[in-house]
Amino acid sequence: MTAEEISESPSTQQIHLLLRALHTYLPYSLPLYRRLQFHLRRLNPPFAQVFDAFPSSHPLSNERLSAEQWLSVASKQKQTTEQIPWICSHIDLSAAGQTQVWVFANWEHPEIQKEEPTAEGLEMRRQLLQALFEKIYDRDVPLIPVTGPKGWLKVKKVGREDIPFSRTRVLFGALNLCVRSLIPQGSGERLDDGTLHYLFPGGKVIIRVDEPYMKYLFPTRSPHQSLEEQNGTESRMALPPGYSFGPVQYQYLSMVLDRTSIPRGLDTMASFFNIGLFYNQEPTPVGWGFLGKDASLTSLHTEPEHRGKSLAVLLSKELFRQQNEHFRTLGDEGKDDEVFWAHADVAESNMASRKVMEKIGGKVEWQTCWIEVELESLVGQNGMWRALSKQ
């Protein structure tokens, strides 16, 4: 059983089918689910792509299935260790220096992780990941200018002056650690997939990997609670006198970037849904919260002189209250599946932010990482996984 990409550039209809399949895996598929909704709601650069890969045939019947048939199978599978593995992602290499790829693999579901996969199953997972990496290297990398895409220099100035641009070095964001474990370190590392051992002297594969991030989930409302009931509850959580919510205007985004160490461009920040906090009707915000392209809570901030009033908690809850409307996409039947969670990634060592997440009501459900992979070393002409395919 080999991996095969079945949908290189899915149509809008196929993306809606993919969203339906991902919905059955919520909340574990939440980052990619929201990223695809962002993709559908906004004009995307020509580099933005969606990728999904499955086994080349149905393991039980050896029947070759179309993309639509596979997505139908995926949306109906029970989350068990006997499940057919599949993987999907959103890719945008033009976001150099920022998150370029979001990935979801169905084995991220806790019910599947309860038992160790067989050697054959583990190799199948690796092949699916290889298919994704090869597609990025073969299809997407050649589209990017060798000097870097538009916006790279702006991101570089935020703290990456010492890192030269390379279009084959790709940043994967919010990657579940169970997927990250399949990526070899490179530089002669011995790989062990349960049955085979390989030793490759090739270049370094992982250029950078950040410390683990804690994935916080926030229940936004119960499936049994109506939207009107939710809005009524939130409306009773009033801001202190003198404070108000409103959008953060473009001219203040430089100030927002100055308050964070995360490298982002102004245009990227402008594309994020945000809510600003204002005091005494002054135009300069005294706090703000942004939801990223995957709807994760990001750049949550309150100016020091306004802290100690639970403003960050109120700001976060207002963002969560409005997120469904902002990310909502309608399928072919005019219906939209509800999402009852919000989420955030917080560095394991960032105890101050973790305390804020707990005040908001968040609970840690899994761990993620941001990892920069040198695709040339992994799936280039002499890459270790290319060599593996030829054996």
Supply the DSSP string of 174-227, one letter for each residue.
EEEHHHHTTS--BTTPEEE-SS-EEE----BSEEEEPPPEEEEEEE-S-TTS-H
Q: At 181, phi and psi to the nearest 5?
A: -65, -15
Rounded to two decimals, the pTM is 0.86
**Residue 191 pLDDT:** 45
d(CA 220, CA 324): 10
In the chain (391 residues long), the average pLDDT of successive 10-residue segments reads 48 82 92 93 73 61 63 67 80 88 94 87 90 92 83 54 79 96 71 42 79 94 54 62 96 91 82 95 95 94 93 93 82 66 95 92 96 94 79 57
**Residue 3 pLDDT:** 47
Smallest CA-to-CA distance from 292 within 274, 265, 267, 318 is with 274
d(CA 377, CA 391): 17
**Where do the domains of the chain lie?**
3-214+368-390, 215-366
Pairing relation of β-strands 273-279 and 206-209?
unpaired
Selecting from 3.50.30.10, 3.40.50.300, 2.60.120.380, 3.40.630.30, what CATH number does the domain 215-366 have?
Answer: 3.40.630.30
Torsion of Cα atoms, 65 then 70 then 72 then 73, to 10°: 100
**Residue 5 pLDDT:** 46
pLDDT digits (tens, 9 = 90+) for 295-347: 999 889 999 999 999 999 999 999 999 998 888 876 545 455 789 999 999 99
**How many other C-beta atoms can be found within 10 angstroms of the C-beta atom of residue 193?**
15
**Residue 154 pLDDT:** 56
User: Residue 328 corresponds to which tokens in the numbers above?
Assistant: 């909502």
